[in-house]
Amino acid sequence: ILFSYTVFFGALLLAQWTTYFMVGK
């Protein structure tokens, strides 16, 4: 369960970074 939570958090962070880059560009 902890691993799944980590993967979920990582995916969320990646999505946030993607949005940040798109907005920045």
C-alpha span between 17 and 11 (Å, rounded)? 10
pLDDT at 24: 84
Residue 5 has a pLDDT of: 95
Predicted pLDDT at 1: 76
pLDDT tens digits, 1-25? 789 999 999 999 999 999 999 998 7
Residue labelled with tokens 């979920």: 8
